[in-house]
């Protein structure tokens, strides 16, 4: 049985036209599912299973001594209600909840190299090409890097 990732995207918005009051909203496309009481995401930003990416994002399945962007942080205290509900629904199956800002993703050194016996095999970017070439640019279209984050967790 493998490990999968559940990714949700949030954007920081201003509350009541007061720049000092902000909150995070889910920008995922939610629909009411006819067979369930809960909402579900229609189109997910990211679903691919890539253990090298999991190692980079949160040290999950890290058999390669990859330095992760961050160790797992748990759910953000100000997580959007929709994402919180999804996390609660996953209760026993989910593990290693975390989040990363778009700023953190952009600042990560994707040009680090994977080596074997002192021979360069490829860059981290090459290992996770769709994530770097498609996913991150899509997030960049949402808002400024400090106003966008991915909230995620894993299951087995």
Per residue in 78-118, pLDDT (tens digit) is 999 999 988 998 878 889 999 999 999 999 999 998 877 77
Q: ∠ CA 35-37-38 to the nearest 5 degrees? A: 110
136-147 pLDDT, tens per residue?
999 999 999 999
The SS3 of residue 45 is coil
- What distance in Å separates the CA atoms of residue 133 and residue 131, rounded to the nearest whole number? 6
User: What pLDDT was estimated at residue 40?
Assistant: 61
Interval 38-53 mean pLDDT? 74
The SS3 of residue 92 is coil
pTM for the complete prediction?
A: 0.88
Q: DSSP class of residue 109?
A: -
Whole-number percent of the chain with pLDDT over 90: 64
pLDDT grade for 43, boundaries at 50, 70 and 90: low
Q: ∠ CA 143-134-80 to the nearest 5 degrees? A: 45
Give buried/exposed letters for 41-58 (b at 16+ CB in 10 A, else e): beeebbeeebbbbbbbbb
| Percentage helix, strand, coil for the chain under 3-state DSSP, each rounded to 5 | 25, 35, 40
- What distance in Å separates the CA atoms of residue 56 and residue 48, rounded to the nearest whole number? 14
User: What pLDDT was estimated at residue 1?
Assistant: 67
41 pLDDT higher than 60: no
């Amino acid at each position: 049985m493998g490990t999968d990732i559940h990714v949700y995207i949030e954007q920081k918005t201003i509350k009541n036209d007061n720049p000092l009051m902000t909150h995070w909203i889910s920008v995922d496309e939610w629909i009411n599912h006819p067979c369930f009481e809960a909402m579900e995401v229609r189109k997910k930003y990211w679903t691919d299973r890539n253990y090298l990416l999991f190692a980079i994002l949160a040290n999950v399945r890290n058999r390669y001594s990859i330095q992760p962007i961050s160790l797992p942080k748990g759910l953000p205290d100000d997580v959007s209600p929709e994402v919180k509900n999804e996390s609660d629904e996953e209760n026993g199956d989910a593990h290693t909840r975390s989040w990363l800002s778009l700023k953190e993703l952009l600042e990560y050194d994707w040009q680090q190299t994977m080596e074997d016996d002192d021979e360069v095999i490829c860059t981290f970017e090459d290992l996770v090409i769709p994530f770097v070439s498609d996913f991150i640019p899509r997030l960049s279209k949402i808002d400024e890097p400090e106003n966008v984050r991915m909230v995620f967790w894993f299951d087995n």
